[in-house]
Amino acid sequence: MHHFTDRDGVLHAEGVPLTAIAETVGTPCYVYSTATLTRHHRVFTEVFADLGARLCYAMKANGNRAVLRLLTDLGAGVDVVSGGELALALAAGAPAERIVFSGVGKSEGELEAALRAGVHQINVESEPELDALDAVARRLGVRAPIAIRVNPDVDAATHAKITTGRAENKFGIEWTSARRVFRRATTLEGIAVKGIALHIGSQILDLAPFEAAFGKVRDLVALLRADGVPVERLDLGGGLGVSYLDDHDVPPSPAAYAEIVRRTVGDLDCALTIEPGRALVGNAGVLLSRILYRKVGITRTFLIVDAAMNDLIRPAMYEAHHAVHPVIAPPPGTDTMPMDVVGPVCESADTFARDRSLPVSLGAGDLVAFMTAGAYCAVMAGQYNGRPLVPEVLVDGERFHVVRRRPSLAEMAALEDLPPWMEER
Ligand SMILES: Cc1ncc(COP(=O)(O)O)c(C=O)c1O
Ligand SMILES: N[C@@H](CCCC[NH3+])C(=O)O
């Protein structure tokens, strides 16, 4: 459920017409809804309440400071994957003891920063990383609280580029080595083994892969405990999908997901952590854009919009579908026709939608919203074709605020420096 709805023929974010945001802030811009974020957080907290699970929001999905502040004020912890995210989470006010540090390639500097900050847990993904962390922790005179991320070799049945729990993926320690690595970890002076972590992929729309993976973890807990390895914590990762097709692709509910967790690992006497990203923020955001031109070609009609693949790369990268909604609804009875929605970037991949059925009346100057753009959209943006990062706006009821402003072109240019042997002009 989200709070982007049509009121009197105008698409609103909560109580604010998107036309008002476009006028004040300009386009393209991302718009996020406080009510949606709050509601999703509440739903997750409620369905996991009896399991006492710790919710660590995977901020890679949307690292905006206001979004982070909102979720951490509601009580969420944060799953970070780099020293940069750690610093941003701390700066947004996340308490270190609610931070989990994941990621397949953490540098010694990043591991040291995490230990100095006093994070709740570091999820170790390889033996070399385990040794590096042990060395850093001993140098600092501390014991690093860790979970070891295992790779359960389960097919998450999602897009190949976002599946992470197969043996051929780079993530986690392979299943067959897990017992040995856990045993070894317990002998290291700088390491305090707390538990097991896993994360099998993203945009998962079927509960069966979760059930299979958590079932395997359950078996591993028994084996490890028999080996004398303490397993007090289970970090189950994220991965629950959202609807991108105007609610035609209905993901499992958080309640059904929690039920799988309860059934598979709920009775193991482990403190549970979940790391949802997309499910919390995905449909809490839209990308607002204006049509620049309607170009009628020989074989197709193009709507050229002012947003591009550098602002929202998911369609180019994963053939992802984002619904395109006219901000001002066309008069009832308006016909539709197939159109391609494309951006101004010089790549044919800069295509948001092909043959999308849209009102024939749409043309230059009209506003459109790319829906379900709260997760993995603004965070994956770049400046290709000299396009500055787009602003982000947070709506709360009747008010809105720019929570990331558009850098000026002068600021963009000032980031680059000439070597001293070249003359400034
Ligand atoms: C370790 C880890 N946890 C959590 C997530 C969040 O995933 P999602 O946004 O699909 O919930 C990811 C990203 O896939 C991840 O790599
Ligand atoms: N960026 C991906 C999700 C990656 C999840 C992170 N492991 C997407 O847009 O769907």
Same domain, residue pair 269 and 311: no
* Number of domains into which the chain is organized: 2
Using most ligand atoms within 8 A of CB, pick from 234, 275, 283, 372 the residue to mutate for ligand 1: 275
- In this structure, are residues 105 and 83 in contact, taking their beta carbons and an 8 Å threshold? no
352: CATH: 2.40.37.10
Catalytic residue check, 346: yes
Q: Which of 29, 56, 270, 346 is catalytic?
A: 346
**Atom of ligand 2 at shortest range from CA of 164:** 7
Tell me which residue has its CA closest to atom 8 in ligand 2: 376
Residue 55 belongs to a domain: no
Residue located nearest, by CA, to atom 12 of ligand 1: 238
98 falls within a domain: no
User: Given 274, 301, 318, which residue is the final one in a domain?
Assistant: 274
What is the pTM (predicted TM-score) of this model? 0.97
Q: What is the pLDDT of residue 108?
A: 98
Among 221, 243, 274, give the residue marking a domain's end.
Answer: 274
The predicted-structure confidence for 300-331, as pLDDT tens digits, reads as follows 999 999 999 999 999 999 999 999 999 999 99
Residues 6+ apart with CB under 8 A from 152: 165, 172, 175, 198, 200, 212, 213, 216, 217
The tokens describing 386, both together, are 């000299």
The answer on pLDDT for 247 being more than 70 is no
253, 274, 295 - which closes a domain: 274
Question: What mean pLDDT is reported for the chain?
Answer: 96
Please, which contacts does 141-144 make with residues 24 or more away whose CB atoms are closer than 8 Å? 142/115, 142/190, 143/189, 143/190, 143/191, 143/192, 144/111, 144/115, 144/190, 144/191, 144/192
Per the domain annotation, does 131 fall within a domain? Answer: yes
Domain span including residue 321: 4-31+283-414
**pLDDT, tens only, 116-174:** 999 999 999 999 999 999 999 999 999 999 999 999 989 887 787 777 777 778 888 99
Interface pTM, i.e. ipTM: 0.98
Query: Which pLDDT band holds residue 255 (cuts at 50, 70, 90)?
Result: very high
pLDDT at 248: 74
Q: How far is the CA of 212 from the centre of ligand 2 (A)?
A: 21
Task: Say what the pLDDT of residue 411 is.
Answer: 93
What CATH number is attached to the domain comprising 217? 3.20.20.10
Residues 140 and 255 placed together within one structural domain of the fold: yes
Q: Residue 56: inside a domain, yes or no?
A: no
| Residue among 313, 292, 287 at smallest CA distance from 304 | 292
* Residue 342 CA, ligand 1 centroid: distance in Å: 29
* DSSP state letter for 183: H
